[in-house]
Amino acid sequence: MIEQNLILVLVMLPFLGAVITATLPVNAHNAAAWISGLVLAAGLALMAVFHAPVAEGRILRGVVQWVPALQLNLSFRMDGFSWLFVTLVLAIGVLVVIYARYYLLKTDPVPRFYSFLMAFTGAMLGMLLSGNILLLVVFWELTSVVSFLLIGYWYQGQAARDGARMALIVTAIGGLCLMVAMLILGQIVGSNDLDRVLGSGDLIRAHPLYPLVLALFLIGAFTKSAQFPFHFWLPGAMAAPTPVSAFLHSATMVKAGVFLLIRFSPALGGTEAWFYAVTGTGMATLILGAVIALFRHDLKGLLAYSTISHLGLITALAGIGSKGAILAAIFHIVNHAVFKASLFMAAGIIDHETGTRDMRRLSGLMRLIPLTGTLAIVAAAAMAGVPMLNGFISKEMFFAEAVDWHNGTWLDNSLPYLATFASIFAVAYSLRFIATVFFGPPPVDLPKEPHEPTPWLRRPVEALVLICLVVGMMPGTTLGPVLNQAARAVLGPDTPHFDIAVWHGFNLPLQMSLVALLMGALLYLVFARQIAAGPEGPPLLHRIRAQRIYERLLLALSWRLPRLLHQRIGTEKLQPQLRILVLLALTFAAAVLWRQLAYATEPLANPLSPAFALMWLVGAACALGAAWQAKYHRFAALVLLGGAGLMTCLTFAWFSAPDLAVTQLLVEIVTTVLLLLGLRWLPKRREEIAEDQMLSARLRRLRDFVIAAAAGLGIALVSYAVMTRPLIPNIGDWFLRNAYKEGGGTNVVNVILVDFRAFDTFGEITVLAVVGLTVYALLRRFRPATESTNQPEQQRGEAAAALQDYLTVPGVILRWMFPAMIVVSAYFFMRGHDLPGGGFSAGVTLAIAFLVQYLGSNVRWVEARLTVLPIRWMGFGLLIAGATGLGAGLFGYPFLTAHARYVDLPLIGQVPAATAMLFDLGVYALVVGATVLMLIAIAHQSLRSARLRDQDTPEAESKEAA
């Protein structure tokens, strides 16, 4: 039990560290480094506790329920393989933290660096330990996101931003593929549990979807592990600070892909497709990386391509998939992490001390920084695979697998030759690194005079190089047991014990190694001069760069194609957009209802009342008149529209729907006034305009008339069909029966809105808030047509004088009405739960109260006396509604569960006190805020254009004077 909790602690620790370091002051270098280091060291201590049970072959688990419905739980498991990997990550992490403490400049912001580093470690641990394949994807994506932040740490530089974005795009695309693969895997197996997936290899391999799963899975793993052709993001990520490179590209980020390959090889591996895809890609990457690395002049570029190459080696081993190959792959993961981290750190020191990473400028540093030089030489020798160093042994095992293992395919037959070929280049680039940087004539014209760095910057390198040496000389006693544990955890308990020894006799792998060493040295010695003089990349191949292809693709996909599409099928005009919208709606409605629209045999109907018919006649006349006048007499059209709205309102009242009638009336008022304010800014249409009378314009209008008539008739037909159907028992009856019993209110409409369907309402008010903000944002940058920017006729010349005080009396009366309207609004709100009213109508009422103030006096006058902060109203509205919903959670109920009761207040009597009322208060505030925000956005137009006019006039006058 204690182990279960400790695993959870282990995963949470780095995230805790991230939170703590994020809150530190910007220059707290020591504190941040200590906290991060201690967090990682505590993690290592936990790993020591776990060692004993893991060594027994047990699998430790820790589970917390998260989303059980999706079979997605915070389930973590630790076996020998993940134990080794986690230990590696934590150990390198500690060293990286020490290194970073002395590497970062005094001015670099500390919290960002360490908190991202901690978060990344946490994501990595989560990925390694997750026992649920969906959880694994979650952490996988988290590593992508945090690595983006880490690579872009020095975001002031273009290279860092580009590199970070490229890494994110490539790895996130891979992550997406991986997610799909995992979802399909979960479906095939019937469980998302990692153990069950790993145990169902035969089932998965026999499934028809296996090729798809394999392809998606491999894209995910290859993008992360920078395998060809997705390798190009890794060199771009070298713009990151060196500690980040040392961490990401040695032990963590890029190893996640190979971790996944090895972890899932029992489930997905063992087929020919797997072998070809994985080993083929691995070998291609191995060779490509090694060849390109030799030709890079940038120190970190060389290391980056060498990393790609070594990842290819591990991938190839995972593709071979024999027991020895898996063991070798795990071994090489560890070895590569150790020597590559130390090399990155050494490169960082060189960069730090000399001010350049260009190998053509560096030379003879051995005399100036002998200690760092020695360390770097040993690490580079390990990278080259020199005997008695750790890189040699795992490379030997790779050669052995390449030679010994057979399945008879052409790829298998060529493996030894390809491996040797790549190794030659590996030796050559390692040699180039050593020879150019540390030997040769003393450096000239360096940006800085190199000195040995502070000892603590070197300590992590020293530790790592020591590991290189110890493991290289005593592999069996140091890493042997844990490696065998890890291999057993991957391959199953019947895996034989492998003896890892330095000396296997003068066998074929050793001969291959020797050939590679000799040929590599020869290659470098012969071509050293040409390489230094040549371009940044291998001859002929340097013109074809995957990064450039990626950039072209990105440009085409994210810039050209969208713009082309926008140009072709987009329009900025409102009319065509609306036309398309209406036509689409018409088409789909017609397609759905064609031959399906049936009318009730006995239409449900009331006897016709003459008064009602008369009312509707008026309403219909208003509506038709509005449409008729809309072109040249917008104001008349608006008035008529108001008439039609009023008739709708009366209809609701007629049919005993007071709630709807109230709402309709209020909404009608607001829309009419807002439209009226908007009309001011539309350019006038005059009948004299000649184009309006031409045939094409007439035809266009005729077409629009037909569309409008068709849409209107369609709606009428559908409404008629729906409303004349016989009544059937439906959900409405349930609401009527239960509104009081369950919701505690007699106003069923309101109870539905704030209780039964509160979640819908919550969504709707959110949309309303978004709409309000959108209108505001659009109108802030709105420039009215030139015809309407001038002052209206009524504000100019004589008219202005005559009409100066025309609103004095109405203004005063509207001011008197203000408190009364607030009372009405409060009244609507308070009685909403039981009688017509409620938060929405109350909110609109209050908004109307503000609205009429703006109408009755001028904007400046109102705003000098009355401050409405609509954004805050909206914000508080959403907060209140959301908090009420969450409040239910405190009592153990689902989101937005309402509670209703009556409270006895002295003097007033029984008062309903439902939590729904609080929710309604949120609705109320939000409606007020959104409506007033739109109002203010429109009202301020007149202020703004007045200001614009003021700016324009002096200029115009000065021009005239000149």
Partner 1 sequence: MTDFDTLSLWVAVPVGLLLVLGSTLTLLGTVGLVQLKSFYDRLHAPTLGTSWGTAGVLLASILLFSALDGRAVLHELVIGIFLLITTPVTLMLLGRAALHRDRAEKVRGIPPARARGDAGSDG
DSSP string covering 33-85: HHHHHHHHHHHHHHHHHHHHHHHTT--EEEEEEEEGGGTEEEEEEE-HHHHHH
Closer Cβ to partner 1, 391 or 642, answer by number: 642
Nearest distance in Å: CB 910, partner 1: 19
Q: How many CB atoms lie within 10 A of CB 628?
A: 13
Closer Cβ to partner 1, 5 or 804, answer by number: 804
**Residue 814 in the binding site for partner 1 (CB under 8 A):** yes
DSSP string covering 428-484: HHHHHHHHHHHSSSPP-S-SS---PPPHHHHHHHHHHHHHHHHHHH-HHHHTHHHHH
Cβ(251)–Cβ(92) under 8 Å? yes
**Residue 580 in the binding site for partner 1 (CB under 8 A):** no
Closer Cβ to partner 1, 658 or 784, answer by number: 658
Closer Cβ to partner 1, 494 or 798, answer by number: 798
Nearest distance in Å: CB 826, partner 1: 15
**Residue 518 in the binding site for partner 1 (CB under 8 A):** no
- From residue 180 to residue 219, the character string flagging contacts with partner 1 as x (rule: CB under 8 A) and all else as - is ----------------------------------------
SS3 909: strand
Q: Please pick, from the candidates 561, 613, 813, 866, the single residue that binds partner 1 as defined by CB under 8 A.
A: 813
Closer Cβ to partner 1, 799 or 886, answer by number: 799
Closer Cβ to partner 1, 624 or 803, answer by number: 803
In whole angstroms, give the CA distance from residue 381 to residue 427: 8
DSSP string covering 331-376: HHHHHHHHHHHHHHHHHHHHHHHHS--BTTT---GGGTSHHHHHHH
**Residue 820 in the binding site for partner 1 (CB under 8 A):** yes
Residue at 957: amino acid letter: E
SS3 892: coil
**Residue 615 in the binding site for partner 1 (CB under 8 A):** no
Which residue stretch of 391-399, 633-641, 659-667, 814-822 sits at the interface with partner 1 (rule: CB under 8 A)? 814-822
Nearest distance in Å: CB 821, partner 1: 10
**Residue 591 in the binding site for partner 1 (CB under 8 A):** no
Closer Cβ to partner 1, 547 or 858, answer by number: 858
**Residue 774 in the binding site for partner 1 (CB under 8 A):** no
Nearest distance in Å: CB 941, partner 1: 22
Task: Find the binding residues for partner 1 in span 791-810 (CB under 8 A).
Answer: 793-794, 798-799, 801-804, 806, 809-810
Closer Cβ to partner 1, 588 or 635, answer by number: 635
Cβ(456)–Cβ(399) under 8 Å? no
In whole angstroms, give the CA distance from residue 427 to residue 422: 9
Which residue stretch of 314-322, 668-676, 790-798, 945-953 sits at the interface with partner 1 (rule: CB under 8 A)? 790-798
Closer Cβ to partner 1, 771 or 809, answer by number: 809
Strand partners, 78: 60
**Residue 904 in the binding site for partner 1 (CB under 8 A):** no
**Residue 819 in the binding site for partner 1 (CB under 8 A):** no
Site size for partner 1 (CB under 8 A): 16
**What's the DSSP call for residue 560?**
I
Closer Cβ to partner 1, 418 or 817, answer by number: 817
Nearest distance in Å: CB 654, partner 1: 19
**Residue 777 in the binding site for partner 1 (CB under 8 A):** no
Nearest distance in Å: CB 942, partner 1: 19
Nearest distance in Å: CB 796, partner 1: 11
Strand partners, 74: 64
Closer Cβ to partner 1, 894 or 909, answer by number: 909
Cβ(422)–Cβ(512) under 8 Å? no
Closer Cβ to partner 1, 302 or 855, answer by number: 855
Task: Name the residue among 172, 169, 165 with its Cα closest to residue 143.
Answer: 172
In whole angstroms, give the CA distance from residue 384 to residue 344: 15
Which residue stretch of 56-64, 544-552, 703-711, 816-824 sits at the interface with partner 1 (rule: CB under 8 A)? 816-824
| Packing angle, helices 390-404 and 508-533, rounded to 10 | 110
Which residue stretch of 29-37, 86-94, 639-647, 813-821 sits at the interface with partner 1 (rule: CB under 8 A)? 813-821
Which residue stretch of 377-385, 565-573, 643-651, 812-820 sits at the interface with partner 1 (rule: CB under 8 A)? 812-820
**Residue 602 in the binding site for partner 1 (CB under 8 A):** no
**Residue 759 in the binding site for partner 1 (CB under 8 A):** no
DSSP string covering 216-278: HHHHHHHHHTT-TTSTTHHHHGGGS-HHHHHIIIIISHHHHHHHHHHHHHHHH-SSHHHIIII
Nearest distance in Å: CB 937, partner 1: 25
Q: Alpha helix locations (H) across 560-679?
A: 561-569, 574-593, 610-629, 634-654, 658-679
Nearest distance in Å: CB 800, partner 1: 9
Nearest distance in Å: CB 802, partner 1: 5
Burial of 568 (0-12, 13-18, 19+ CB in 10 A): exposed
Nearest distance in Å: CB 852, partner 1: 10
**Residue 817 in the binding site for partner 1 (CB under 8 A):** yes
Helix/strand/coil (H, E, C) string of 28-45? CHHHHHHHHHHHHHHHHH
CA 683 to centroid of chain Cα atoms: 43
Nearest distance in Å: CB 856, partner 1: 9
DSSP string covering 661-673: HHHHHHHHHHHHH
Nearest distance in Å: CB 650, partner 1: 17
DSSP string covering 750-797: HHIIIIITHHHHHHHHHHHHHHHHHHHHHHHT----GGGTSPPGGGSH
Nearest distance in Å: CB 736, partner 1: 26
**Residue 717 in the binding site for partner 1 (CB under 8 A):** no
User: Residues near 460 by Cβ (< 8 Å), separated by ≥ 6?
Assistant: 95, 96, 98, 99, 341, 342, 345
Structure tokens at 767: 């949309």
Nearest distance in Å: CB 813, partner 1: 5
- From residue 869 to residue 888, the character string flagging contacts with partner 1 as x (rule: CB under 8 A) and all else as - is --------------------
In whole angstroms, give the CA distance from residue 720 to residue 714: 10
**Residue 816 in the binding site for partner 1 (CB under 8 A):** yes
Q: Find the length of the chain.
A: 962
Closer Cβ to partner 1, 92 or 814, answer by number: 814
Task: Name the residue among 758, 786, 769 with its Cα closest to residue 872.
Answer: 769
Nearest distance in Å: CB 848, partner 1: 13
In whole angstroms, give the CA distance from residue 332 to residue 258: 11
How far is it between the farthest Cα atoms of the chain? 113
Nearest distance in Å: CB 810, partner 1: 4
In whole angstroms, give the CA distance from residue 737 to residue 735: 5
- From residue 829 to residue 868, the character string flagging contacts with partner 1 as x (rule: CB under 8 A) and all else as - is ----------------------------------------
Closer Cβ to partner 1, 593 or 676, answer by number: 676
Sign of CA dihedral 745, 746, 748, 753: negative
Nearest distance in Å: CB 577, partner 1: 36
Which residues contact partner 1 (rule: CB under 8 A)?
793-794, 798-799, 801-804, 806, 809-810, 813-814, 816-817, 820
